Amino acid sequence: MSRSHSMSLGALELAHERTSALVFHPTATVRNDGQPRFRTQASRDYACLLDFDDDVASWICTPAELPTPQGFHVPDFLVCYEDGRGCFVDVSDNDLTHVTAAASALNLNHQTVSPASFGTSNRLRNARDLLRYGRHRAPLGDRVRVLAALEECGSMTVAEAFSIFREIQPMPGIASLVLGRHISIDMDDDLIGARTTLRAFERRASL
């Protein structure tokens, strides 16, 4: 890209052009509202965590230009929460306090998340594994069978759930039900395995 071409674009358009050809894995997303656009693998990894955050309703990549004393800044994400809150997020080790202060002056929320805070977590490794099946959808019959079994017994292991599926392969089916917030799975204590516990998803009561 030529310098003159870069200068002719606004910050938002430039951010979109620079990320349009970049591909990071896993490629499937669930709660992304719009085109997935990631600057780095770290920002892609953080988006994996957003898809498994029960408080998150949706998230948008490179959503807007924020005016700051150092020029316009395009955050990595706008995260929209179930309670109606919104927050701009950058995944970076850079000092972006000027962006946070500029957003606050506009009555907006902004935070910077360091990749080191989540990069080696079990939650991220499990999220990446489950999102490999992000384009699968558990058929109604299998969903009803799994939820009926959980209603009867309260919880089951991944190995026990395997025998319930009839219409889709078990692991894609489990991943689909977790991503669809029909069931919950322990993401933090260890890597997902045969003895990992599944439970029915408990929705928070609305205020």
3-state SS, the chain, equals: CCHHHHHHCCHHHHHHHHHCCCCCCCCCCCCECCCCCCCCHHHHHHHHHHHCCCCEEEEEECCCCEEECCEEECCCEEEEECCCCEEEEEECCCCCHHHHHHHHHCCCCEEEECHHHCCCCHHHHHHHHHHCCCCCCCCHHHHHHHHHHHHHHCEEEHHHHHCCCCCCCHHHHHHHHHHCCCEEECCCCCCCCCCCEEEECCCCCCC
Query: What domains sit in the chain, N to C, each tagged with a CATH number?
Result: 3-121 (no CATH), 133-200 (1.10.10)
Quick check: pTM over 0.85? yes
| Per-residue model confidence as pLDDT tens for the chain (207 residues) | 434 334 345 888 888 888 877 889 999 999 999 999 999 999 999 999 999 999 999 999 999 999 999 999 999 999 999 999 999 999 999 999 999 999 999 999 999 999 999 999 999 999 999 999 999 999 999 999 999 999 999 999 999 999 999 999 999 999 999 999 999 999 999 999 999 999 999 876 554
